[in-house]
Amino acid sequence: MDLSFFKKTRILDAGMGQELLARGLITKGTLWSATSLIDEKFNSLVVDTHLSSIRAGADVILTNTFTTRRVRMVQNQVGDLFQFANQKACELAIKARELSKKNILIAGSLPAQNDTYQADKRDQNIIEKDFFDQASIINPYIDFFYLDVISSGREVEVALNVIDKLNKPVLVGLHLKKNGMLPSGETITEIVKKYKNTKWLGVVSACVSLEIIEQTVDELKSLDIPFGFKANLWAVEEPLPVHRFNTAGYNEIGKNPNITLGKREITGKVFCQFAKKISKKGATILGGCCETDSSHIKELSKLK
């Protein structure tokens, strides 16, 4: 693909997991959106959610692979379906693109491989194997990788080494705390200067609040690389790792994250007004994460 793709304003899709729940998905344990892949009766919800973002004006959709990481699947007693679920997510994304008849790109969501919103401190070889195994499955189906809510430079480095072997471009999504730093304590600038390579398409604030995006936009602007955001609409500014709010066993119905984290009532128009302000700072990559939907993307698309 064109490595300068994100130098123009591009619209990423809305969140997947929370929208699937809103559309009727019943999850098991901590599988969250992965349930929609394992249970065939929910496959159509994934396609319809992708289509909603595409029809609203998204230029890119992400594969529904955020919770198909090996750790989460093993914890929920479905480790044997690891390859099936990751492949199914890609097939459903492709189906949505075909049904839409629009020339959109598919990004492979490659998430933090342990928990979300905190640095992975496991042995580096284990992290690398987890990244490689998931990336290898989704690689044939995608246009580029999206490092999805990454919390440390160590994880960025390991993931980039894996992606380099697969010869794909990458958009880097960094999770940030209220202090403007990654959960590891590193700054955005440190990450970009240390790990940026010729395959980087850009960098985004990943699953962060509007306040944190606004707080860190000047730092991103100074790095001479396409940048932007995938904003969440949680009520809390610093969301908690899954084990802090969902203790459901693998054979129990999972808990909706917004019961603990809350939901902000931000309309598409208000979301667009915020994005316009960030765009004036130079942001060209605009999208939504948890608790955003196609109404937010429709308004964002007006900024193209």
User: For residue range 207-230, what is the model confidence (pLDDT) as tens digits?
Assistant: 999 999 999 999 999 999 999 999
* Per-residue pLDDT band at 55 (split at 50, 70, 90): very high
Query: In the numeric block, which tokens belong to residue 94?
Result: 């492709």
Res 243: pLDDT: 73
CATH at residue 123:
3.20.20.330
Task: For residue 274, give the H/E element and its range.
Answer: helix 268-279
Res 248: pLDDT: 83
What average pLDDT does range 25-40 have in this prediction?
97
Res 247: pLDDT: 82
- Structural domain count of the chain: 1
Residue that is written with structure tokens 């969301």 in the block? 239
Query: What string of DSSP letters covers 2-59?
Result: -TTGGGS-EEB---SHHHHHHTT---BTT-GGGHHHHSGGGHHHHHHHHHHHHHHT-S
Domain range for 220: 5-303
Res 241: pLDDT: 82
CB burial readout 33-56, b (16+ within 10 A) else e: bbbbbbeeebbebbbebbbbbbeb
What average pLDDT does range 4-12 have in this prediction?
98
> What does pLDDT average to over the chain?
97
* Per-residue pLDDT band at 253 (split at 50, 70, 90): very high
Q: What three-state secondary structure class fits 19?
A: helix
235 has pLDDT over 80: yes
> Per residue in 254-296, pLDDT tens?
999 999 999 999 999 999 999 999 999 999 999 999 999 999 9
Residue that is written with structure tokens 């942001």 in the block? 283
How many CA atoms does the CB half-sphere of 18 hold within 13 Å?
20
The Cα 192–Cα 242 span in angstroms is: 27
- pTM surpassing 0.95? yes
List Cα–Cα distances, 49 to 28, 44, 53, 181, in angstroms. Answer: 20, 8, 7, 31
Query: In the numeric block, which tokens belong to residue 270?
Result: 């208000």
> Per residue in 146-198, pLDDT tens?
999 999 999 999 999 999 999 999 999 999 999 999 999 999 999 999 999 99
Percent of the chain with pLDDT over 70: 100
The Cα 210–Cα 228 span in angstroms is: 12
* Per-residue pLDDT band at 240 (split at 50, 70, 90): confident
What average pLDDT does range 222-242 have in this prediction?
94
What average pLDDT does range 98-106 have in this prediction?
98
Query: In the numeric block, which tokens belong to residue 125?
Result: 């070889």
